[in-house]
A and B are shown apart, each in its own frame.
Chain A
Amino acid sequence: MPQVRLTRAVEFSTSLRYWNPDLGEAENRERFGRKANRHGHNYRLEVTLVGEPDPVTGMVIDLKDLQDVIDREVMVRFDHRDLNRDTPYFDKEPPTPENLARVIFRLLHAALPSGLLHGIRLFEDADTSVELSGDSA
């Protein structure tokens, strides 16, 4: 059977600021500019899986199962949270879309059956996105 890619999209909203606690106020402001102020985004996350459709169900994965994983690993952790205060991932590195995408990729990669996750695409806004694939976690 040929392989098929399927993509499920979700949206979540967070607050955040780019801030490295090892640096002082002035250096954080110089390095990150206005992003050192607390601000927020509506993120759109596209999760793409790849696999052969099951011969009986015709599905790569039951979409409800995929949604359950996304809810548990992404939505509960990040939606309507503060990335700096409510999550442990951004103590040492700023919550850029690159770094947030790497965290999400690692979480999904660990939670999904082996070999199923093809990649993710994270939109910070309509004009800016980050894509991750392979074993780049």
Chain B
Amino acid sequence: MKRPLAAALVAAATLLAACGDDDVTTSATTTTAAPDAPDRIVSMSPTSTEMLFAIGAGDQVVAVDDYSNYPEEAPITDLSAYEPNVEAITTYEPDLVVLSDGGGELAASLEQIGIEVLALPAATTLDDAYEQIAQLGDVTGHGEEADEVIADMRADLAELVAEVPERATPLTYFHELDNTLYSVTSETFIGEVYALAGLENVADPADADGQSGGYPQLSAEFLVEADPDLVFLADTKCCQQTSETFGARPGFEVLQAVTEGNVVLLDDDIASRWGPRVVDLLRAIVDAVKAVPVS
């Protein structure tokens, strides 16, 4: 029952795409990109949207998904990256769709109707992130700008790392993804950024075998016992967490991060994307680290 329906959808989408073909060519004058570069890009990934605009390919982007809230000039739509709809995407007549997961069924259906797809799954290392920026540069004809963005990121990160004060024993930290204590380990992209600031992750024992994919849910009592020096809340938007709500949770008033005011509020978006704004994330982390006196 599912297959005829899917076939019908694809057929309809193909028709739509075919109808639109005539007037696509008119926008060729606006971009500086290579003539064969895509100029009707739909980005279904907030990180890719940030990367595309950072490398100067923003003019070639016609639509972005409903989570792509940065930069401001990004043409945000109600396209859902969470429950993507092939037909809705095709109404923007894209010549390239950037996806944030492995692609899967969505990529297959888009490719079936002749739309090019670039799947850029969540980066697990900084090098992955640089690689994705370079890839987007190549595809959009902004290779040089992409290289510049990468060089700038490397330089900015190195500069911030140099600011981190020397310590005999490293500071420990807890990074909170939501108010049920989901966290990240050092094996994730975010964990790598914290490591740059010389921090040790208290969540690492919770996913020692990697079965949670680097995203374990901690026991409250374990966190109290671990008593991290720094707490970073990456759930200030999703779950309205503040240093007050964190400190008011059962048993948390004894945490030294709470008593000494070392609960740091992060922007959920910056702390969950692997684009150029990772520099802002490291800056927030390094500022917090510098605020803790070296004993």
Do A and B assemble together?
A: no
Interface residues of B (CB under 8 A from A): none
